[in-house]
Amino acid sequence: MLISVVSLFPEMVSTIGEYGVVGRAQQRELMTLEVENPRDHASDAHRTVDDRPYGGGPGMVMKYEPVAAALEAAKGNLPAGCPVVYLSPQGQAFDQAMAQRFAKMPGLVLLAGRYEGIDERLLESHIDEEVSLGDFVLSGGEIAAMAVIDAVVRLLPGVLGDDESAVQDSFMRGLLDHPHYTRPEEIAGRKVPDVLLSGDHARIARWRQKQALGRSYLRRPDLLEKLDLDDEQQTLLDEFLKEQS
């Protein structure tokens, strides 16, 4: 997969390709990360990329021309039909299903804005999707773009080993993860649940599923509402709630 990010801070974005899972994916050429700087596409001597907003008010707006030129350069290196995504709080909510959809694409263009926003006409002419990580305001789209890259790249075939892939299973099924424990067996009177020391793999799997269902019910009922629990899952959730009280 070829991912191209348009950003005024290219070195900030390229660091995502130097560490951890995404770094390994890039080294193994399962993913290539490119960054295009609108400043390199500005036509004036000062290389201007921003200007004052029509109608007045505080802050600056990213100019149409250099951003459009950078997006076209970014698209030029990708197969036709790859989505161009703008990260902003006004976008559709990003989730695991969207990450899976992007992971099926041969390429992806991500526009990371700065200042108060981009000229609205860019959205009409160059952007396929506006996507938000959540209801909060960042200083720019770079960190949001990096989060999208991380979530997408870990889904690409061959990027994760078998152990790491298994860890994704819970959220892929639309549930929160179960609790995790490692040595020592007791910390200041807090003991690891007995079932995890039993060696009974079927019982452990059942306990983990129950915890995942129970935590999802208590913390994120919106996630559970989207699911159609089977009889086994409903029984586990009922047991969890009974054990709670």
Q: Report the interface residues with ligand 4FM, using CB under 6 A.
A: 62, 87-89, 113-115, 117-118, 132-134, 136-138, 140-141, 144
- Which of 114, 154, 208, 215 is catalytic? The answer is 154
- Which of 169, 185, 232, 238 is catalytic? The answer is 169
- Which of 51, 116, 164, 200 is catalytic? The answer is 116
**CB-nearer residue toward ligand 4FM: 110 or 159:** 110
Calculate the alpha carbon distances from 80 to 29, 105, 127, 175 in Å.
20, 11, 14, 35
Minimum separation from the CB atom of position 146 to ligand 4FM (A): 11
The structure tokens listed for 23 are: 């770094």
Helix (H) or strand (E) holding 21: helix 20-27
**CB-nearer residue toward ligand 4FM: 93 or 197:** 93
**Is 28 annotated as catalytic?**
no
What is the spatial distance between Cα 173 and Cα 238, in angstroms, rounded to a whole number? 19
What is the spatial distance between Cα 192 and Cα 184, in angstroms, rounded to a whole number? 8
Minimum separation from the CB atom of position 127 to ligand 4FM (A): 12
**CB-nearer residue toward ligand 4FM: 47 or 203:** 47
- Which of 51, 52, 89, 173 is catalytic? The answer is 89
| Interior/surface letters 85-108, b for 16+ CB within 10 angstroms, e for the rest | bbbbeebeebeeebbeebbebebb
What is the spatial distance between Cα 131 and Cα 88, in angstroms, rounded to a whole number? 6
**Is 89 annotated as catalytic?**
yes
**Is 116 annotated as catalytic?**
yes
What is the spatial distance between Cα 84 and Cα 119, in angstroms, rounded to a whole number? 16
Q: Which amino acid is residue 127, in one-letter code? A: I
- Residue number, nearest CB to ligand 4FM: 113
**CB-hemisphere CA count at 13 Å for 162?**
0
The structure tokens listed for 197 are: 């020391």
**CB-nearer residue toward ligand 4FM: 61 or 224:** 61
Minimum separation from the CB atom of position 138 to ligand 4FM (A): 4
Minimum separation from the CB atom of position 86 to ligand 4FM (A): 8
**CB-nearer residue toward ligand 4FM: 106 or 134:** 134
Beta strands in 58-166 (DSSP E): 61-62, 84-93, 107-111, 129-132
Minimum separation from the CB atom of position 192 to ligand 4FM (A): 37
**Is 169 annotated as catalytic?**
yes
Enzyme catalytic residues = 89, 116, 154, 169
